Amino acid sequence: MRAAWYERNGPAREVLVVGEMPTPTPAAGEVLVRLATSGVNPSDWKTRSGTRPMAAPRVIPHSDGAGVIDAVGPGVDHGRIGQRVWIWNGQWKRAFGTAATHIAVPTEQAVRLPDTTSFEAGACLGIPALTAWRAVQTDGGVAGQTVLVAGGAGAVGHYAIQMAKLLGAARVIATVSSAAKTAHARAAGADEVIDYRAENVVERVRDLTSGRGVDRVVEVDLAANAALLPQIVARDGFCACYGSGKAEMSLPFGPMILSGAAIRFFIVYELPPAAREAGVAQVNAWLEAGALQHAIGRVLPLADIVAAHEAVEAGAVMGNVVLDCTG
């Protein structure tokens, strides 16, 4: 098979190699997927650059992707051969991810992809869509709530706005940093959009909520926004935190205890099995219903993986960066 890999951590252009490798054989309980697409997420460049130890001497990056089941290992229903699928956790605690023409994964990590969903969209589900779902669904969900989605034009944020609305949020406020991102967040369903670089977020949120604050913050960068939290969250409010721009962060203790706010940290790779099952089922139900907009910001061939990593690392693309693995 054709694949991209690295054998040491470092900058994309120094460590990523594209070449030929043996196509894996599906083991017991596994399926072999012929990949059409591979999704690139911030986690992929962070892992490649060395924030996590090498999972193996050679790593094929990327956890998200979509394609067609080509073969199945012992114990797997032969009826799955030919099924369109999307992948989750392709390179979480595993050596070989989706930046390749093939991947062998446990059968449950290849989820049926509805016929009406493109392979490009299928490469955005394992991390961005499931993270957004978890952020709005966890700890009682958002029905009737006012929700602030920080970074509403991001890959996760764009889904979080949509899913908050789908799960019954009364009002969704998003923060963004440009006119194009404002339009993107509004098109996803945001009722109000705040340009966090040009406007005073605390004042705007308090104005929009008559001084009460929001019930839930979906946080993309807690290190940057920690000081805002007790000022924008309602009494005994909640923050679902999935990102931080820095490894260490501090919170203003006095304001936080006075606000009564709770923070849920989570990483999508480690969803509890019951939550994973519920999230996968919900995402697929929304796909079947045509209820989700997908933001495919850029599609590049597998051979251009260095450019893809550099674009994601630079935050240069609005929406998901996806590799075409068919070329």
List of residues contacting ligand NAP (CB under 6 A): 41-43, 127-128, 131, 150-151, 153-157, 175, 177, 196, 220-221, 224-225, 242-243, 266-268, 315
What is the number of residues in the chain? 327
Contact 158, 188 (CB under 8 A): yes
In the complex, minimum distance from the CB of residue 178 to ligand NAP, in angstroms, rounded to a whole number: 6
In the complex, minimum distance from the CB of residue 244 to ligand NAP, in angstroms, rounded to a whole number: 7
In the complex, minimum distance from the CB of residue 168 to ligand NAP, in angstroms, rounded to a whole number: 23
Place of tokens 């990523």: 16
15 or 155: whose CB is closer to ligand NAP? 155
Give bridge partners of residue 207 from the DSSP assignment: none
6 or 196: whose CB is closer to ligand NAP? 196
In the complex, minimum distance from the CB of residue 299 to ligand NAP, in angstroms, rounded to a whole number: 15
101 or 182: whose CB is closer to ligand NAP? 182
Which among 56, 72, 51 has a CA at the least distance from the CA of 21? Answer: 56
Nearest residue to ligand NAP on Cβ basis = 154
133 or 242: whose CB is closer to ligand NAP? 242
76 or 201: whose CB is closer to ligand NAP? 201
Report d(CA 5, CA 15) in Å as an integer.
8
In 3-state terms, what secondary structure has residue 295? coil
In the complex, minimum distance from the CB of residue 80 to ligand NAP, in angstroms, rounded to a whole number: 27
26 or 151: whose CB is closer to ligand NAP? 151
In the complex, minimum distance from the CB of residue 317 to ligand NAP, in angstroms, rounded to a whole number: 7
Assign residue 81 a region (left: φ > 0; alpha: ψ between -120 and 50; beta: otherwise).
Answer: beta
Q: Sign of the C-alpha dihedral, residues 75, 77, 83, 87?
A: negative
Q: Is 307 exposed, middle or buried (0-12, 13-18, 19+ CB in 10 A)?
A: middle
